[in-house]
């Protein structure tokens, strides 16, 4: 435990160069990341919906068309 605390304190020390070399926080990055995640979710939902629609149409064609053609 002591070692982890010492490392954290050393890392947070402004005299340490790594303290200043950390990634700079940009407010727009969070919104960009959220937008990308939302776009990924929409794309995924669209793909799943398209797959379900295609499967439904296929099942309807495989079941309904032979039944309709048998009666005539």
Q: Summarize pLDDT for 9-66 with one digit per residue, the tens.
A: 666 666 766 666 666 666 777 788 899 999 999 999 999 999 999 999 999 999 988 8
The CA-to-CA distance between both ends of the chain, in Å, stands at: 82
Distances (CA, A) of 15 to 2, 6, 10, 12, 59: 21, 15, 9, 9, 68
Distances (CA, A) of 33 to 3, 24, 45: 34, 15, 18
**pTM score, whole prediction:** 0.53
Nearest to 53 by CA among 45, 64, 65, 63: 45
């Amino acid at each position: 435990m002591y070692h982890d605390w010492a490392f954290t304190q050393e890392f947070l020390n402004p005299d340490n160069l790594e303290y200043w070399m950390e990634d700079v926080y940009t407010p727009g990055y969070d919104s960009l990341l959220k937008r990308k995640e939302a776009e990924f979710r929409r794309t995924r939902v669209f793909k799943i919906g398209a797959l379900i629609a295609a499967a439904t149409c296929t099942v309807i064609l495989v079941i309904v068309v032979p039944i309709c053609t048998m009666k005539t």
